[in-house]
């Protein structure tokens, strides 16, 4: 049940902003968009989530288009420690599972 589409990999220079896109064209009105990341084989780490407004926290910003069919995660100043697989997840209403998909492998380079 692919609910989101992400590019398989992206490169970013250290210190630059990393912009990770996600398409979720079948999202329902009450479904949230979540972003997680997984560094090496550690447990997925929560980054941010939103419904329809743009959100910002200490880690990142989330920009959701007005039609809610896509979103962008922004890491404003990427560091080498941000190298990870980033997952965009649409939270299903029945709440039984998080569909992680394949994610985007972000490579932050010096």
CA distance 71 to 92: 17
Among 10, 49, 52, 74, binds other proteins (CB under 8 A): 49
Would you give the DSSP letter of residue 56? E
Encoded tokens for 24? 């979720």
Residues 55-94 that bind other proteins (CB under 8 A): 91, 93
Rank residues 42 and 81 by Cβ distance to other proteins and give the closer one: 42
Q: How far apart are CA 86 and CA 2, in angstroms?
A: 16
- The answer to whether the CB of 47 falls within 8 A of the CB of 102 is no
> Does the protein bind other proteins through residue 98 (CB under 8 A)?
yes
For the CB of residue 26, give the shortest distance to other proteins in the complex, in Å: 17
Residues that bind other proteins (CB under 8 A): 30-32, 34, 36, 41-46, 49, 51, 91, 93, 95-98, 100-103
């Amino acid at each position: 049940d692919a609910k989101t589409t992400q590019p398989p990999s992206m490169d970013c220079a250290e210190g630059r902003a990393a912009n990770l896109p996600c398409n979720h064209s079948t999202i329902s009105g009450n479904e949230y968009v979540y972003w997680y990341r997984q560094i090496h084989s550690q447990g997925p780490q929560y980054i941010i989530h939103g419904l329809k407004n743009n959100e910002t926290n200490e880690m990142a910003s989330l920009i959701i288009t007005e039609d809610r069919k896509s979103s962008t995660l922004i890491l404003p100043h990427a560091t080498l420690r941000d190298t990870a697989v980033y997952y965009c997840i649409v939270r299903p209403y029945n709440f039984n599972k998080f569909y992680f998909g394949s994610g985007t492998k972000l490579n932050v380079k010096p």
